[in-house]
Amino acid sequence: MEAERLIASGRHALAESRTALDIVAEAWQAQALAQAIGSHLALGGPLELRGEARGLGETVGGRGALDHPALRTGGLRAVQLTAVGDARTALTALGALLGEVGIALVGVACATDEEGLYWQCIEAMDAADEANDRVRAMLRRLSLRDHDPHRPPDTARGRAGPG
């Protein structure tokens, strides 16, 4: 499935989450999707993005979101990723999802009296923030690339112009 559709699905699932644990699980779903998109762009995205994309694919320390216990109860949407159409559009949508995740997690962390849940939210917020920092860095690189009059055509996809 294309990245933008998976991101839209994640935004919808987050909006429909009714319990704190559902919100935490959706936060890790978003993180897993960010990792998958990062890995995809690191392999075949625009050359300017590959370093940051590799970092995005490796966020959340050594463990990664794909192994997070909150994801073991249901299917992982990120495994359905087959393509990242337009890098700028996908990264912009991913940044919006990660921002929404952060806001939802702040709400859960502020409302809970359960210490374990609080720290799960803090861990997930840190992961979303780190991923969003990398997404913003990639968007800046794309913007700089688009405004460079000496830039050669984008050969990563066999075409000229914005990626």
> Measured between alpha carbons, how far is 10 from 80 in angstroms, rounded to an integer?
12
3-state secondary structure 136-159: HHHHHHHHHHHCCCCCCCCCCCCC
Q: Are 47 and 159 in contact (CB under 8 A)?
A: no
**Tokens for 88?**
């700028």
- In the numeric block, the tokens 């700089």 are attached to 144
Single pTM value for the model:
0.83
Q: Within 13 Å of residue 66, how many CA atoms lie on the same side as its CB? A: 14
Q: What is the pLDDT, as a whole number, of residue 151?
A: 63
The DSSP letter of residue 19 is S
Dihedral, CA atoms, 160, 41, 83, 17, nearest 10 degrees?
-130
Instruction: Going residue by residue through the chain, which has 163 residues, state the pLDDT in tens, using 9 for 90 and above.
Output: 999 999 999 999 999 999 999 999 999 999 999 999 999 999 999 988 999 999 998 875 444 455 555 555 567 889 999 999 999 999 999 999 999 999 999 999 999 999 999 999 999 999 999 999 999 999 999 998 877 666 665 554 444 444 4
Residue 121 has what pLDDT? Answer: 94
Rg for the chain, CA atoms, rounded: 16
What pLDDT is recorded for position 60?
56
How far apart CA 112 and CA 149 sit, in angstroms, is 52
pLDDT for residue 162: 46
CA dihedral 32, 129, 73, 113 (to 10 degrees): 180
Domains and CATH numbers, the chain: 3-146 (1.20.1260)
